[in-house]
Amino acid sequence: MQLVKNIYDNSKIGVLLIHGLTGSPCEMKPEVKHLTQLGFTVKSPNLPGHGGTHKDLLRTNWQDWFDGACKEYEELASQVDEIYVGGLSMGALLSLMLAHKYNNVNGLMLMSPTLKYDGSNVPFLHRLMPLADLIPKLGHYFYWTEDPPYGLKDTRLQKIITKSIENAKSNNSSEFGLFRTYVYSLRQLNHLAKQVKKIAHEITTASIIIHSLEDSLTSIDNAMEIYSQLASANKQLALIDGCDHVLTLDLRKKDVSNLLSDFIINNSKIYNSQKIIYADNDLECSIA
């Protein structure tokens, strides 16, 4: 069913969606569209260091990314009565950190949470991460350039991303983010993951974890570990197939969008669906 018009005002329900490492808000475009159509106030910002050059990203660390997420959270929280936080990959870890810091997070939506890159398409450069602490400059010279399939099964989207990268200026972000990941940034992600492991058992926020069974970058072990550590009485684990790591854009993006909206609606105390008008065709969330 496609939402045509939401007469009732659900704008006091806020949703913050956080992209992944080297990514961009474009990763969340289908979900932003879907949740906005339900009347929610949705925000999907660029994290510090992202949206520019590789040098911009190398000037930031995980604390900068978290500080940026905190700023966006506080701004959105000041405008709404309920707030839900979700993220993809690294964004899922930042979402967990937000839930630990702020006691008014109503729900967590963790997509492809990445404590470690342990999938089948992970480069050998991860073995160099410990050296980045001993020899900091090393992390600024060695990098992993991502090639197709870009954590996606959607071949049409793979072609779009390849073209976008080719059209982007040298060393700059494409519409979809940076596709070169330096060892330094990977190490920062590792430090963030360690922080998450320390505090996960203290998080009691209602949560849903969505992970692909066919994730080529991060195995379902990541999702299982976080699920087991969360102290939430209300927590769900949704394992899906037919998509890869960037499941927010991939072939199951509509299902992901519906999982998010169902989670919010089921946990919200102020959601009103009485005056929502639907058409008969399916909701189409597309980046193109």
Q: What pLDDT score was predicted for residue 249?
A: 96
Residue 236 to residue 208: CA distance in whole angstroms: 5
Residue 38 to residue 36: CA distance in whole angstroms: 5
Q: What pLDDT score was predicted for residue 178?
A: 57
Q: What pLDDT score was predicted for residue 123?
A: 57
Q: What pLDDT score was predicted for residue 242?
A: 97
Q: Where are the beta strands (DSSP E) in the chain?
A: 2-6, 13-18, 41-43, 82-88, 107-111, 143-145, 180-182, 207-212, 235-240, 276-279
Q: Give pLDDT tens digits along the chain (288 positions).
A: 444 445 567 999 999 999 999 899 999 999 999 999 999 999 999 999 998 888 899 999 999 999 999 999 999 999 999 999 999 999 999 999 999 999 999 999 999 999 998 866 655 555 555 655 655 565 555 556 667 788 999 999 898 888 777 765 554 555 555 556 777 888 899 999 999 999 999 999 999 999 999 999 999 999 999 999 999 999 999 999 999 999 999 999 999 999 999 999 999 999 976 555 445 444 333 332
Q: What are phi and psi of 239, to 5 degrees?
A: -105, 125
Count of Cβ atoms closer than 10 Å to residue 135 Cβ: 10
Residue 223 to residue 46: CA distance in whole angstroms: 24
Q: What pLDDT score was predicted for residue 183?
A: 77
Q: What pLDDT score was predicted for residue 177?
A: 54
Bond prior to 149 in cis (omega within 30° of 0): yes
Q: What pLDDT score was predicted for residue 186?
A: 87
Q: Which domains does the chain carry?
A: 2-279 (3.40.50.1820)
Which residues are CB-neighbours of 114 under 8 A, at least 6 positions away?
A: 20, 21, 89, 90, 92, 93, 189, 193, 217, 218, 222
Q: What pLDDT score was predicted for residue 135?
A: 56
Cβ proximity of 39 and 7 under 8 Å: no
